[in-house]
Amino acid sequence: MLEIALIASIKVIIVIVVVLTGCAWSTWLERKVLGRLQHRIGPSFAGPYGLLQPVADGLKLMFKEDIVPASVEKTMWTIAPIISFIPALLPFAVVPFGIDSTLFGHEVKFVISDLNIGVLFVFAVTSLGVYGIVLAGWSSGSKYSLLGGIRSSAQMISYEIGYGLSIIGVVLVANTLSLREIVEMQGSDSIWFFSNWMIWQQPLGFLLFVTCAFAETNRCPFDMPECESELVAGYHTEYSSMRFAMFFVGEYANMLGVASVAATLFFGGWQGPFLDTAPWLAVVWFVAKVFVFMLGYIWLRATFPRFRYDQLMAFGWKVLLPLALLNAMVTSLLVTLGWL
């Protein structure tokens, strides 16, 4: 029992460190890629190629004055960043990121917790983050922040339904809610290692999932809760120093979480070529797929203008929800007929 607890603790520490490090350097990646796409340079002075810019940003936020406005509701205002930050890390507890192996004489599963309802767990915990945003907006005592929080709650309700329905097709085809089993069924030993990826059976489901995920994580073109042209900075307008940093890191942790789940559900997770001879490559393939998704996040931010609020809501209810229902019904029919 002690051995199991020790291995689990080590896995938790490693995953948290990797995720937080990934969040830090995702900010560098975004600024560099946006700079290239918009014919700018991006960070270049802090270290070679600006690689130490996240370190400089972290130090700056640590030493900035923590300003507490007089009009805030202190208790809720204080815990709101924590409520927003912690759920962003929880999905990584059930995402498998490699092949089960034997290390130092101990069998190690490359997943923190192999839940048989992993898909439900991911959607349950990711929907909690909006409470932190709503509480931050309400407790700040600012109309800009309040509007940002209200927008976030309305956006979450509108897109959460389509978000959940978008993966119904994957669950129906796989006949399981375990992320590990979904990854294993997408494997192939042939040269066409990608032939069993769920993206080929659920292309519409994937497009719906990614679109709703962008809205769920408040990323452009769905970043209405922040929307600096209208709300200054939205729900976190009154936050500074490390309180703001928790919202900031939480956003990038959400992005990494969505990328990890998308790679797991639709692109085979850690599956890839040459795993028979080099099992350690499983982690490499998983990280590579997550990296590609992060590039997609950044690329779309640089490409599309922000939706108007009425367009945002209409798109969720009148386009994404009907398409998600249609995809679920068609997939159910095909599975029943044995065609999937």
Among 120-134, 142-156, 314-328, which range has the highest average pLDDT?
A: 314-328
Instruction: Evaluate if residue 34 carries a pLDDT over 70.
Output: yes
Q: Which of 169, 164, 208 is nearest to 332 (CA)?
A: 169
pLDDT at position 285, please? 92
Query: What average pLDDT does this structure show over 278-291?
Result: 90
Q: What is the pLDDT of residue 208?
A: 93
Centre a 10 Å sphere on the Cβ of residue 65 and count the other Cβ atoms it contains: 7
Q: Is the pLDDT of residue 183 over 70?
A: yes
Evaluate the CA torsion angle 273, 278, 279, 283 in order and state its sign.
Answer: negative
pLDDT digits (tens, 9 = 90+) for 108-135: 788 888 888 889 999 888 888 888 888 8
Average of per-residue pLDDT values in the chain = 86
User: Is the pTM for the entire model greater than 0.85?
Assistant: yes
Closest CA to 110 of 284, 295, 289, 256: 284
142 token code pair: 């600012």
Confidence of residue 1 (pLDDT cuts 50, 70, 90): low
